[in-house]
């Protein structure tokens, strides 16, 4: 429904693919793209048309179909674009939040006005089915309106919310409109200028998105003097154009969606760089996952099979959230697998512009080759492999939907980005150990659970280390503001896209307290304050450190740790959002009071502190109350200890040294916050940067029968 979110924002407009009228319009868009032909070229703030070698962009589902052409940005284009972005930054930051919100709302309206041609372009350039393309335009529209709604929250002003500066947005090909628009919309909403580097495979969709956003800018701010350099497009390879953008010292933030390996390269490129206030650049990275679905013996097999097909094979398995590992309770595994293999043969593989198609192509030949090599390797290792036969006559990069049976979770060591589902069995009583083995992979993006037993739901929810958990439903298609999306560990840095923390991460200054989330259904609830923080506050008063004691009280009152929200959504679905402490925070300071300040922030977040076992830290630890000591770990080699966030107070050289050391660590990317020595005040460190976001979506209409009869207790 259009009014699903009440007065907060309109719901995005869908499309009835059973309507002959709509299908006729879509067919026309596919066969008659709007003139001139689709083209992507560098769009800089000076308005000059860049020249260069025009390269054809082919349809991955029909290689003879030339969708359009792309001209890559040159290194001089990059230099010019960054300079223009820096020059435009003060004017865009000074633009009233209400005007920025109006730009985003106007752009959302333009996307809906161009729904049919956008669907046609996404189908042809990205190889998506029509249903997936409709969903993508809707998601992009929702991103624009969601961030616009945040700008209209009470208390948002340019005096209290300050932008970080020029931001680079590097988007993937699997969601060439939705993720691209979501990144750009968030950065623009926060008042930052944007340099957008789209995926090499899908520059045409990005170019059309930028054209519509520029049109919205002109419509709203035609008299305000805001230059088009607010948003610039720089197509080209990541190794050259993307690397040059990120390497420029004037860039203050990077939004990235892609592989974990590339995210680490970006972290290393940014490491050691500081702004005029001694703060490192912002890196928001959303990376891949080994996304598991757990199915117990109480689940409804017919529903499980339908949700597995959608989760694993929709978009040819090329979703960040796609199901990669199906974990079946051994007692029902054979029956479920038999049904699943039968249902698999009902999938239609073919050109994505055909409405009957369920599974389209993978994006390009390197992707196809990598998937085929993985399947061949697994078959050679003795694993049972079940594949569909590809229909004859296809002229694209197609991969047959595949099911591979494994012996253990640990045999899947990396993300396979395509229509390949791995299946493993687990025994009754082994659920907790199974979740622990999934957690041990280091990835934490999505997880699915099919059960009708409440105790099982509580066990998995408490134990799983994933950003998004889906219960008795499929695992794909997260809705902006309803299921904020993003992972933890090796699956991303946070904050979640389409969630309440994204804009805060893109600000150099913002209020300490977390603003209300747009569209909140019920009042927030939060856990009680940390006993350790209360004990520390009393100890500080006893030591005559009244200012630090007052800071402890203020930070505890402002902390969003333990926040739990019920988000809006359709009937039959319950979506909850919670903020939980990170496991541990590494803190470094050269002065006792600065180290105590960091400890206050860590305890206010509900986390644990890791201190390097230096003389200052050891002496201070020995003087602390026992309940506080229990929340502090002294590490002989601090930089190699286990932690997932870091705080530093010291000279610029000290901040750079720690940033460079963190960038060399294997495993998850560790975000670093810095603070000048002696700057001991609320907000000096962002508390929400020490928290993890967890979203749980439960299909409340799927239990079937009286589930209370099945409770273990």
Q: What are the catalytic residues?
A: 286, 320
Report, in angstroms and rounded to the nearest whole number, the Rg of the chain calculated over CA atoms: 25
Dihedral-angle region of residue 704 (phi above 0 means left; psi in -120 to 50 means alpha; beta otherwise)? left
Those residues whose C-beta lies under 8 Å from the C-beta of residue 592, and which sit 6 or more positions away, are 616, 620
Q: Strands 446-450, 402-405: parallel, antiparallel or unpaired by DSSP?
A: unpaired
DSSP 529: P
Between CA 310 and CA 317 the distance in angstroms is 9
Q: Hey, what are 652's tokens?
A: 């610029």
Assign 3-class secondary structure to 623-672: HCCHHHHCCEEEECCHHHCCCCEEEEECCHHHHHHHHHHHHCCCCCCCEE
Dist. CA 18–CA 5, nearest whole Å: 26
Phi, then psi, of 699 in degrees rounded to 5: -80, 95
Q: Could you give the CA distance from residue 670 to residue 587 in angstroms, rounded to a whole number?
A: 12
Which residue stretches of 152-281 are H helix?
178-189, 203-221, 243-247, 260-270
CA distance 694 to 580: 7
Strands 691-699 vs 573-581: parallel, antiparallel or unpaired: antiparallel
Contact call for residues 450 and 297 (beta carbons, < 8 A): no
Pull the structure tokens for residue 516: 């209300």
What would the two tokens of residue 604 be?
């206010």
CB 237 within 8 A of CB 78: no
* Tokens matching residue 318: 């090329």
- Strands 573-581 and 564-567, by their bridges, are antiparallel
Please, what's the largest Cα pairwise distance for the chain? 81
Give the integer Cα–Cα distance in Å for 234 and 181: 15
Q: How far is CA 268 from CA 1, 8, 195, 248, 416, in A?
A: 45, 40, 20, 13, 25
Strands of 585-589's sheet, edge to edge? 632-635, 609-612, 585-589, 645-649, 671-675
From the list 674, 679, 688, 645, the residue with the least C-alpha distance to 513 is 688
């Amino acid at each position: 429904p259009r009014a699903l979110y009440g007065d907060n924002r309109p719901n995005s407009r869908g499309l009835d693919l059973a309507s002959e009228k709509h299908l006729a319009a879509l067919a026309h868009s596919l066969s008659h793209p709007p003139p001139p032909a689709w083209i992507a070229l560098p769009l800089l703030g000076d308005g000059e048309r860049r020249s260069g070698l025009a390269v054809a962009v082919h349809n991955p589902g029909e290689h003879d179909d030339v969708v359009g052409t792309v001209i890559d940005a040159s290194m001089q284009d990059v230099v010019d674009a960054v300079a223009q972005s820096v020059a435009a930054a003060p004017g865009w930051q000074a633009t009233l939040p209400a005007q920025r919100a109006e730009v985003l709302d106007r752009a959302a309206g333009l996307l809906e006005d161009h729904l049919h041609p956008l669907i046609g372009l996404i189908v042809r350039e990205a190889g998506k089915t029509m249903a997936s393309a409709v969903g993508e335009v809707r998601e992009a529209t929702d991103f624009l309106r969601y961030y616009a709604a945040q700008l209209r929250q009470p208390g948002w002003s340019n005096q209290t919310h300050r932008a970080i500066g020029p931001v680079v947005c590097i988007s993937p090909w699997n969601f060439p409109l939705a993720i691209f628009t979501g990144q750009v919309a968030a950065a623009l909403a926060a008042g930052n200028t944007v340099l957008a580097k789209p995926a090499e495979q899908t520059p045409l969709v990005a170019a059309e998105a930028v054209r519509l956003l520029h049109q919205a800018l002109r419509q709203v701010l035609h008299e305000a003097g805001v230059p088009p350099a607010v948003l610039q497009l720089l197509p080209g390879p990541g190794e050259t154009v993307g690397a040059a953008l990120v390497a420029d010292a004037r860039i203050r933030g990077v939004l990235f969606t892609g592989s974990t390996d590339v995210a680490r390269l970006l972290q290393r490129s940014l490491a050691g760089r500081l702004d005029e206030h001694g703060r490192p650049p912002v890196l928001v990275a959303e990376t891949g996952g080994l996304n598991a679905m757990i199915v117990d013996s109480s689940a409804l097999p017919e529903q499980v099979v339908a949700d597995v097909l959608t989760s694993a094979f929709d978009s040819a398995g090329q979703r960040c959230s796609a199901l990669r590992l199906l974990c079946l309770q051994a007692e029902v595994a054979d029956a479920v697998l038999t049904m699943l293999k039968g249902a698999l043969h009902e999938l239609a593989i073919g050109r994505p512009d055909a409405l009957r198609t369920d599974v389209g192509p993978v994006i390009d030949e390197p992707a196809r080759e990598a998937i085929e090599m993985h399947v061949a390797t697994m078959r050679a290792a003795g694993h049972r492999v079940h594949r569909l036969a590809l229909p004859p006559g296809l002229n694209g990069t197609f991969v047959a939907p595949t099911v591979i049976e494994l012996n253990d979770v640990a045999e899947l060591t990396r993300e396979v980005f395509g229509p390949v589902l791995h299946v493993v069995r687990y025994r009754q009583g082994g659920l907790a150990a199974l979740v622990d083995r999934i957690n041990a992979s280091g990835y934490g993006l999505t997880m699915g659970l099919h059960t009708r037993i409440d105790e099982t739901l509580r066990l998995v929810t408490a134990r799983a280390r994933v950003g998004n958990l889906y219960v008795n439903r499929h695992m794909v298609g997260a809705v902006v503001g309803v299921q904020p999306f993003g992972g933890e560990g090796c699956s991303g840095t946070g904050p979640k896209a389409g969630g309440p923390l994204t804009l805060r991460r893109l600000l150099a200054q913002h209020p300490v307290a977390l603003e209300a989330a747009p569209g909140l259904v019920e009042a927030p609830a939060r856990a009680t304050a940390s006993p350790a923080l209360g004990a520390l506050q009393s100890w500080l008063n006893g030591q005559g450190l009244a200012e630090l004691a007052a800071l402890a009280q203020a930070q505890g009152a402002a902390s969003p740790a333990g926040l739990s929200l019920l988000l809006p959504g359709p009937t039959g679905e319950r979506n909850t959002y919670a903020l939980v402490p990170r496991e541990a925070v590494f803190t470094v300071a050269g002065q006792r009071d600065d180290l105590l300040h960091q400890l206050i922030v860590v305890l206010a977040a509900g986390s644990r502190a890791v201190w390097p076992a230096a003389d200052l830290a050891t002496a201070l630890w020995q003087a602390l109350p026992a309940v506080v000591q229990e929340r502090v770990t002294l590490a002989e080699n601090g930089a190699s200890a286990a932690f997932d966030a870091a705080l530093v107070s010291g000279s610029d050289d000290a901040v750079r040294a720690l940033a460079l050391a963190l960038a060399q660590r294997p495993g998850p990317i560790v975000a670093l916050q810095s603070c000048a020595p002696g700057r001991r005040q609320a907000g000096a460190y962002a508390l929400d940067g020490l928290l993890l976001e967890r979203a749980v979506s439960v299909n409340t209409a799927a239990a079937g029968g009286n589930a209370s009869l099945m409770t273990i207790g």
